[in-house]
């Protein structure tokens, strides 16, 4: 199955799975792919799918239809073709090549274990731990009622807090916890410390050649970027997902989250945050 990826200024706006035989593209609401822009004709172009082939035709539009920068009247679409209609682009993608593209994206942006300094990754993990600790709420002060064997907050304690407590009964010794299996991920982070209850999040590429590609953040620590240019790590912890700067080619050149540099400290990611790293914009989406 083929699909179209609509974008404007390298920002992905929508994706269309091409399950029908005919798709019209234009400004009016009755189009299958609507582009509400004055530079687009009411019914600008038509895509016809016949078996495994797709054909594009310009419908005598005012500003013309372009494929890979060339004005066309009719064109047999190939995987990776970029259709320009007005100021918008439609990238034609065939699903059978997605796995290959995903591999290329991961080879380009995801840094395998062993290719990044262990000291840098340890520093990144330490920064994430500090940021996670800062997000934990403080527990209110409590008083201990020895007679009842329970903790009371300041209001409930009342006079009990100032009275002499009775000796508490000797608690039974707690059973020794079973030793926890120690399993290391490829990044060297103990996967047993990653909470199973935390929903998986993902990154979706919003710009560049891999726009639309997705990466699930399944590991305790995922290192992204381009060594020597800009590298960051995303850690998955009980408190959520945190991004921390690892290295860059220029001092002080930090990744951006929603247009703001994250600095040297780890930053907790929120749903729909936009991360810019090594020239690539990615959306962070929590499940």
pLDDT of residue 184: 37
Of residues 254, 208, 227, the one with CA closest to residue 105: 208
- Burial class for 24, CB neighbours closer than 10 Å (0-12, 13-18, 19+): middle
Round to whole Å and give the CA distance between 85 and 80.
16
Cβ distance 33 to 90 under 8 Å? yes
pLDDT beneath 70: ranges in the chain:
1, 95-108, 113-125, 127-128, 130-197, 287
pLDDT of residue 188: 42
pLDDT of residue 199: 80
pLDDT of residue 274: 92
Domains belonging to the chain, first-starting first, are 2-94 (2.60.200.20), 201-286 (2.60.200.20)
Q: How many C-beta neighbours within 10 Å does residue 287 have? A: 10
For residue 237, give both structure tokens. 């912890």
pLDDT of residue 23: 94
pLDDT in tens, 125-144: 676 676 666 655 544 444 44
């Amino acid at each position: 199955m083929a699909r179209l990826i609509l974008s404007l200024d390298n920002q992905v706006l929508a994706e269309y799975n091409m399950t029908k035989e005919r798709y019209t593209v234009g400004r009016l609401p009755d189009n299958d792919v609507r582009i509400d822009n004055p530079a687009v004709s009411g019914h600008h172009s038509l895509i016809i799918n016949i078996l495994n082939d797709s054909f594009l035709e310009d419908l005598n539009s005012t500003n013309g239809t372009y494929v890979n920068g060339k004005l066309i009247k009719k064109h047999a679409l190939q995987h990776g073709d970029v259709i320009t209609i007005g100021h918008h682009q439609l990238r034609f993608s065939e699903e059978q090549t997605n796995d290959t593209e995903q591999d290329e994206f991961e080879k380009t942006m995801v840094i395998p274990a062993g290719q990044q300094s262990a000291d840098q990754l340890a520093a990144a993990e330490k920064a994430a731990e500090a940021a996670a600790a800062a997000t934990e709420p403080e527990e209110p002060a409590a008083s201990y009622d020895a007679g009842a064997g329970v903790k009371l907050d300041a209001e409930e304690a009342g006079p009990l807090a100032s009275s002499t407590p009775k000796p508490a009964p000797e608690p039974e010794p707690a059973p020794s916890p079973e030793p926890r299996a120690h399993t290391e991920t490829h990044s060297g982070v103990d996967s047993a410390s990653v909470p199973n209850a935390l929903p998986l999040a993902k990154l979706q590429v919003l710009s560049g050649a891999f726009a639309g590609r997705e990466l699930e953040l399944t590991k305790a620590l995922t290192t992204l970027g381009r060594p020597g240019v800009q590298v960051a790590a995303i850690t998955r912890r009980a408190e959520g997902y945190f991004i921390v700067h690892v290295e860059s080619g220029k001092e002080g050149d930090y990744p951006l989250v929603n247009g703001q540099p994250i600095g040297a400290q780890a930053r907790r990611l929120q749903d729909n945050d936009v991360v810019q790293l090594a020239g690539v914009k990615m959306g962070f989406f929590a499940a």
